[in-house]
Amino acid sequence: MSQILLGTYAQRNTDDHPPAYTPGYKTSVLRSPKNALIAIAETLTEVTAPHFSADHFGAKDNDLILNYAKDGLPIGERVIVHGYVRDQFGRPVKNALLEVWQANASGRYRHPNDTYIGAMDPNFGGCGRMLTDQNGYYVFRTIKPGPYPWRNRINEWRPAHIHFSLIADGWAQRLISQFYFEGDTLIDSCPIIQTIPSEEQRRALIALEDKSNFIEADSRCYRFDITLRGRRATYFENDLT
């Protein structure tokens, strides 16, 4: 088979994402551009991205239960989260850097600016990272985060969520988002989730209970798949360079 020549990434469907200006999420009001984004035809700058060496990863980088444990285990629900990263055309995304961060079981973050009364856990850090494998698969282990209050309206509460970031094959795929847990009733009232215009896309951020992958007398499991933008192949003129 001759080598496939890759063209540009398919354009981002802006209707599938939150707009920048979303007054229900108050901080966005002064942090959103007034001008429309300027769309550009992609060049090498947008279709390339850095590579991350597996050599730089420690053995517990994807184990948030143990990677900050000092004198015991962190308190909270033991869960494994796993899934596949694919592009929009269904191809696996290999060797992508997936980074995650979250609050502890109280809904408290290990961050200098978080002063919520929920208790800190001296054995929980709240960050991890991994590379997807040749099938686009990833897996990490953690404590299920608690919901937490924040000052948007005064009695606003985030559902339990885990933040995630992906750096994959092209700069155009760079993505940061958050996933939620099936059945959390706070999902329906969260103004950050409500910035996403469609119900189907909001649902795409909910990790599903994966019962057959629970580990007896140990951990429950959630399944969460991620889709990135995909590149088209070029069979005629190649204008990229």
Query: In b/e form, how buried is each residue of 195-204, taking b as 16+ CB within 10 angstroms?
Result: bbeeeeebeb
CA atoms lying within 13 Å on the CB side of residue 94: 3
The residue among 202 and 214 lying less far from other proteins, judged by its C-beta, is 202
Q: Between residues 178 and 214, which has the closer beta carbon with respect to other proteins? A: 178
The residue among 215 and 238 lying less far from other proteins, judged by its C-beta, is 238
What does the alpha-carbon distance between residue 167 and residue 53 come to, in Å, rounded to a whole number? 13
With CB under 8 A, what is the number of residues at the site for other proteins?
87
For residue 45, the SS3 value is: helix
Is there binding between residue 193 and other proteins (CB under 8 A)? yes
| Residue where the block lists tokens 């094959």 | 169
Which residues lie below 8 Å from residue 194, measured CB to CB, with a gap of 6+?
22, 24, 25, 202
- What gap in Å lies between CA 173 and CA 45, rounded to an integer? 12
The yes or no reply on residue 61 touching other proteins (CB under 8 A) is: yes
39 lies in the binding site for other proteins (CB under 8 A): yes
For other proteins, which is the closer residue by CB, 11 or 215?
Answer: 11
Q: Does 194 bind other proteins (CB under 8 A)?
A: no
Give yes or no for residue 163 binding other proteins (CB under 8 A).
Answer: yes
Scan residues 5-24 and list those touching other proteins (CB under 8 A).
11-14, 16-20, 22
**Catalytic residue status for 163:** yes
Q: Indicate which residue of 25, 68, 109, 180 is catalytic.
A: 109
Question: Would you call 56 a catalytic residue per the annotation?
Answer: no
Does 241 participate in binding other proteins (rule CB under 8 A)?
Answer: yes
- Residue 138 bridge partners (DSSP): 83
Q: Minimum distance from CB of 118 to other proteins (Å)?
A: 14
Please report how many Cα atoms fall inside a 13 Å half-sphere around the Cα of residue 84, on the Cβ side: 10
The verdict on whether 161 is a catalytic residue reads yes
Question: Which positions are annotated as active-site residues?
Answer: 109, 148, 158, 161, 163
